[in-house]
Structure 1
Amino acid sequence: MTGRTPVLSVRGLSVRFLMPGGRGVAAVTDAHFDVAAGECLALIGESGCGKSVLASALLGLLPGNAQTAGAALLGDLDLLTAGERTLARTVRGRLVGLVPQSPAAHLTPVRTVRSQLEETVAELTGVRGRAALREAAESAAGRAAFPADHLDRHPHELSGGLAQRAATALALVGDAPLLLADEPTTGLDRDLVHRTVDELRRHVDNKADDRDRALLMITHDLAAAERVADRVAVMYAGRIVELTRAADFFGAPGPRHPYSRGLLDALPDRAFAPIPGLPPELGALPGGCAFAPRCESATDACAVQPPLTGTVACHHPHAALTEAADRA
């Protein structure tokens, strides 16, 4: 990471779900990362690897059978130990803006998009007056490319892509220091993907009020990540297995972890070759490196879980220029 001050500092974050019969499922294990002021960190990986669970932990939105450990510091506030009152009144919307993975579930079904935007503007910014609220709501919608002629529609009248844009507009209203975008490009065509992630990036780069801002973007869309991310964190089976600069990840020398290389090789504009096998169930993880059963480079050494050393957690990382790896 660069020398910039972290907006978010995660240390040893783990999430475990207690299941019937006393069985535990480790959904996130020992996550360590920072998101610096002015930075976009893209968290990538296959479905079911724990990315959205990590996001829910940061916002206190985990179900009752979840147990957390570690710390997630936003300034002096530990998000993992903050009470619901603090999370509801201080964190959500004000300190952390959320673009949710399932936007339709986060929009109030009986109210129009306009009324929800105006209410959020009034609550988070203090704007008052009918004309001022209307103007602010339309401005927020424009930032997320939400069409003005759909503002008076209800959520059930929107396509998935429009619902996504409505949720993005709501997340941007408070100009929160940390923007947490969980699959923000779902349902969008490529032009709108570019417009959406560019707007999220502008939020981070905004220096008009001298506030430090950062973006944690959870995504399957590697092209979107390449477009706006400064660094990339790769997650597999609940663990971060690689954390490196986006320029090194998408360019030269490329990823060092075999799983990371597999993600890139699966892209149509690359080798278009799927990773063999399937991710393990989080409730039945193999011993040692969880990727070993799918990895052509696996040896007996992989029976022991490799630590995240430098930029990669792997006993047999692909060769990379030492100075490039050290820059992260």
Structure 2
Amino acid sequence: MRGGREVAAVTEASFRLGPGECLALVGESGCGKSVLASALLGLLPGNARTEGSALLGDLDLLAADERTLARTVRGRRVGLVPQSPAAHLTPVRTVRSQLEETVRELTGVRGRALRPAAEAAAGRAAFPAGHLDRYPHQLSGGLAQRAATALALVGDAPLLLADEPTTGLDRDLVDRTVDELRRHVDAGRALLMITHDLAAAHRIADRVAVMYAGRIVEVADAAAFFGGPGPRHPYARGLLDALPERAFTPIPGMPPELGDLPEGCAFAARCPRAAAGCQAVPRLVDGVACHHPHPHLQPHPSAREASRA
């Protein structure tokens, strides 16, 4: 609810994510990506409502009660790198204290082994040992991000939700963080990475899902999305064309407010391929939700020079 009226922040989102796979969920700010992650962990505001199902094994996350989520899901079956790490770190405890508690609870390590185990956990997220005894308010945004990532990785949860895990990091640290998350995946675990950083998504993802105005408009293999035929949805192509190493051409206009969506295709007002039929909401068919998608005929021109890092 917003201003006394109901807003559909995410609509008809559907995807599968298996062990050993990374799905990158990309799109402009405000399209509903973080709302989706919060819904999966029961972290939405009290006035929010969810429908459908989100199956983790035989557990429906959307139907699970708070007791189940708190005791058996968060941190154990699903790890979270939050979008706003400072809000998830306990302000009156040092990073070391929080890491040691998490290591003890999730791995059972105790005694003299606890301190080096916590320091090893910090190292996985490139968090400097010299800052472990600092409090959250003493950390920069990038350090807070790395602390939150370290905490999320401790339990080696089967599913990791990483919501903008590279925010505030320079390029070298982005690559290091993404590579550590990739190791998490390569060990047979699943990762849903929510990001606006397409370079990071290119580096880590097996598949890419593109969200616009609360809907997933395309799902594609990462190799085809970034370097093969290219995206089929005009919005997804526009995201790639806006990159400095590509056409560097921004998508014209602004995305609509989720509480004031137009009739039919929400992207039509900004779309160069808009035509008859766009007055109806497109459904996701064969991986794309568009009435006039690009055909899979040849590589996208801006993708020909792209290479995977």
| Structure 2 partner of 1:291 | 267
Contact 1:19 1:65 in 2 (8 A): no
Name which of 141, 154, 157 aligns with 1:160: 141
| Structure 2 partner of 1:183 | 164
| Structure 1 partner of 2:181 | 200
Name which of 77, 82, 87 aligns with 2:64: 82
Q: Which amino acid aligns with 2:62?
A: L
| Structure 1 partner of 2:284 | 308
The residue matched to 1:232 in structure 2 has which SS? strand
Q: Which amino acid aligns with 1:193?
A: V
Q: Which amino acid aligns with 2:235?
A: Y
Deviations 1:165-193 (A, max 9, x none): 00000000001000100000000000000
Q: How does 1:17-166 map to 2 (within 5 A)?
A: 18-21=1-4, 23-129=5-111, 131-166=112-147
Is 1:247 the counterpart of 2:226 in the alignment?
no
| Structure 2 partner of 1:263 | 239
The residue matched to 1:31 in structure 2 has which SS? coil
Unaligned runs of 5+ residues in structure 2 are 299-309
CA RMSD for the aligned pairs? 1.0
The residue matched to 1:82 in structure 2 has which SS? coil
Q: Which amino acid aligns with 1:142?
A: G
Is 1:214 the counterpart of 2:196 in the alignment?
no
Which protein has the bigger strand share? Answer: 1
Deviations 1:159-218 (A, max 9, x none): 111110000000000010001000000000000000001000101112xxxxx4100000
Unaligned runs of 5+ residues in structure 1 are 1-17, 207-211, 323-328
> After the TM superposition, which parts of structure 1 deviate over 6 Å for at least 4 consecutive aligned residues?
none
- Mapped to 2, the partners of 1:133 and 1:66 lie a distance apart of 39
Is 1:275 the counterpart of 2:251 in the alignment?
yes
Q: Which amino acid aligns with 1:295?
A: C
The residue matched to 1:194 in structure 2 has which SS? helix
Deviation at 1:19, TM superposition (A): 3.5
Instruction: Give the aligned length.
Output: 298
Q: Which amino acid aligns with 1:92?
A: R
Q: TM-score, normalised by structure 2?
A: 0.95
- Mapped to 1, the partners of 2:106 and 2:9 lie a distance apart of 33
Deviations 1:65-89 (A, max 9, x none): 1110010000000000000000000
% of aligned pairs identical? 81
Deviation at 1:300, TM superposition (A): 2.4
- Mapped to 2, the partners of 1:309 and 1:63 lie a distance apart of 32
- Mapped to 2, the partners of 1:231 and 1:91 lie a distance apart of 25
Contact 1:99 1:180 in 2 (8 A): yes
